[in-house]
């Protein structure tokens, strides 16, 4: 889990040419809630990173170098100058190969929440939540392709990975960006006070008030992560990963 001055979200590591990089959604840094994602011109950015070890909530302020894959692409590459991986497992690889209707999963920290798991090393780790989705379609744009997923996204999953397959074959397809809203009418009813026995019968009818709210349609938008790999290859500044 990460926090900017604007909002909380998710980041995750990938490996490109034996170098470690972290991906997240650009809007977590810029605060742009809707419309095109814009671009980031700053060379560095400081974020609060949740310490994943232990049960206590602790944030570590971390500075990252920035690689922006392109204007209006809701992905940013974060390059820390220190090792952030706390578990000695390989970083994920990126793939753009998937089938329509394919079941995927996505991970993150909904509403800035986490849970704790104990691993074989007897250490407690703060964990993201996992949700399932399906590849519903793909929108080809001039700058990047956008996955359209069938699933329920919540605030806090932004920046999290869309994963395909399991185990050592697991790969990243995309980075969670947003979910599609739909305006819906909500009717609230004002209930009259119930009269006591000593009072006259209450003939007051309940009054209805109509409001319009944004509903979650179950359509998730995620930018495909291959554009981040292309940007990384043009500027390979990540920390070298020890090859075993």
pLDDT for res 60: 95
**pLDDT score of 205 more than 70:** no
pLDDT for res 185: 78
Distances (CA, A) of 207 to 191, 192, 201, 234: 7, 9, 17, 62
pLDDT for res 208: 65
Q: pTM for the whole thing?
A: 0.85
Q: Could you tell me which of 152, 29, 170 has the C-alpha nearest to residue 161?
A: 170
What does the pLDDT look like over 177-192, one tens digit per residue?
A: 998 777 777 777 666 6
pLDDT for res 194: 58
Give the chain's end-to-end CA distance (angstroms, integer).
28
CB 148 within 8 A of CB 219: yes
Look at 142 and 228; give whichever has higher pLDDT: 228
What does the pLDDT look like over 71-111, one tens digit per residue?
A: 999 999 999 988 887 776 667 889 888 888 899 999 999 99
Three-class DSSP category at 27: helix
In terms of Cβ atoms closer than 10 Å to its own Cβ (0-12, 13-18, 19+), residue 74 is: buried
Residues in the chain: 244
**169 — phi, psi (to 5°)?**
-90, 0
What does the pLDDT look like over 213-234, one tens digit per residue?
A: 777 778 999 999 999 999 999 9
Q: Could you tell me which of 130, 120, 129, 118 has the C-alpha nearest to residue 53?
A: 118
CB 166 within 8 A of CB 14: no
| Token couple for 186 | 């909500």
What does the pLDDT look like over 7-17, one tens digit per residue?
A: 999 999 999 99
What does the pLDDT look like over 45-62, one tens digit per residue?
A: 999 999 999 989 999 999
Label residue 195 by pLDDT band (50, 70, 90): low
Q: Could you tell me which of 103, 217, 221, 226 has the C-alpha nearest to residue 159?
A: 221
pLDDT for res 199: 55
């Amino acid at each position: 889990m990460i926090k900017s001055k604007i909002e909380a979200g998710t980041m995750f590591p990938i490996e490109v040419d034996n170098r470690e990089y972290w991906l997240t959604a650009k809007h977590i840094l810029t605060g742009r809630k809707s419309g095109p994602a814009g671009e980031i011109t700053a060379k560095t950015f400081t974020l609060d990173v949740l310490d994943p070890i232990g049960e206590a909530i602790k944030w570590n302020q971390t500075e990252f170098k920035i690689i922006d894959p392109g204007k209006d692409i809701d992905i940013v590459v974060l390059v820390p100058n220190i090792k952030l991986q706390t578990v000695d497992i390989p970083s994920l690889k990126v793939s753009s190969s998937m089938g329509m209707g394919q079941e995927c999963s996505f991970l993150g920290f909904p509403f800035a929440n986490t849970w704790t798991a104990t691993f074989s090393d007897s250490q407690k780790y703060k964990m993201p939540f996992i949700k399932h989705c399906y590849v519903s379609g793909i929108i080809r744009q001039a700058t990047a392709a956008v996955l359209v997923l069938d699933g329920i996204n919540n605030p806090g999953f932004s920046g999290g990975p869309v994963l395909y397959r399991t185990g050592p074959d697991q790969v990243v397809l995309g980075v969670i960006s947003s979910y599609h809203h739909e305006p819906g009418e909500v009717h609230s009813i004002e209930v009259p006070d119930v009269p006591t026995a000593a009072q006259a019968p209450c003939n007051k009818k309940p009054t209805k008030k109509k409001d319009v709210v944004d509903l979650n349609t179950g359509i998730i938008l995620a930018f495909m992560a291959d554009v981040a790999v292309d940007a990384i290859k043009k500027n390979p500044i990540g920390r070298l990963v020890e090859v075993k």
